[in-house]
């Protein structure tokens, strides 16, 4: 149980385009979803936390107009990287939880901006 699906698993696109990443909780209703960014050989950096039906709470230093998060339902959250540039290239990971349960993670999205 507690399966989280993240799509796509990897994406390559040109600089200036926008990229949308989906995160779905397949067998539970996620009251809270998290978006992380991870650079090689580093720990996870929390970008934002979103609760279903409300605006996401962004961590300090994360541009909310750059990284648009939508959590429209209890099973789906999306992260859109707008006008992506090479410095946005990274490994993006989502997680989901409900109540006081631990976070369950998707398998991540490798984003490469050319």
Does position 110 interact with another protein (CB under 8 A)? The reply is yes
Asked if 1 interacts with another protein (CB under 8 A), we say no
Least spacing, CB of residue 16 vs another protein, in Å: 26
106 part of the interface to another protein, by CB under 8 A:
yes
Q: What is the C-alpha to C-alpha distance for residues 30 and 12, in angstroms, rounded to an integer?
A: 29
**Pattern 73-92, binding to another protein, x per CB under 8 A?**
------------------x-
Binder to another protein among 32, 70, 82, 89 (CB under 8 A)? 32
Establish if 34 lies at the interface with another protein (CB under 8 A): yes
Q: What is the DSSP string of the chain?
A: ---EEEE-SEEEE-TT--EEEEEEESSS--SEEEEEEE-TTS-EEEEEEEETTSPPEEPTT--TTTEEEEEEETTEEEEEETT--GGG-EEEEEEEE-TTPPPEE---EEEEE-
Residues making contact with another protein (CB under 8 A)? 2, 4, 6, 32, 34, 42-44, 46, 49, 91, 93-95, 97, 99-108, 110
């Amino acid at each position: 149980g507690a399966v989280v699906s993240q799509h796509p698993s990897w994406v390559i696109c040109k600089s200036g385009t926008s990229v949308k990443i989906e995160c779905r909780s397949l067998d539970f209703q996620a009251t809270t979803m998290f978006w992380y960014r991870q650079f090689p050989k580093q720990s996870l950096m929390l970008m934002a936390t979103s609760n279903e039906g409300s605006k996401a709470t962004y961590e300090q230093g994360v541009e909310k107009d750059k990284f648009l998060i939508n959590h429209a339902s209890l099973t789906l959250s999306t992260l859109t990287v707008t006008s992506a540039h090479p410095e946005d290239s990274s490994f993006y990971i989502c997680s989901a939880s409900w109540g006081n349960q631990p976070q369950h993670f998707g398998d991540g999205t490798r984003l490469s901006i050319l």
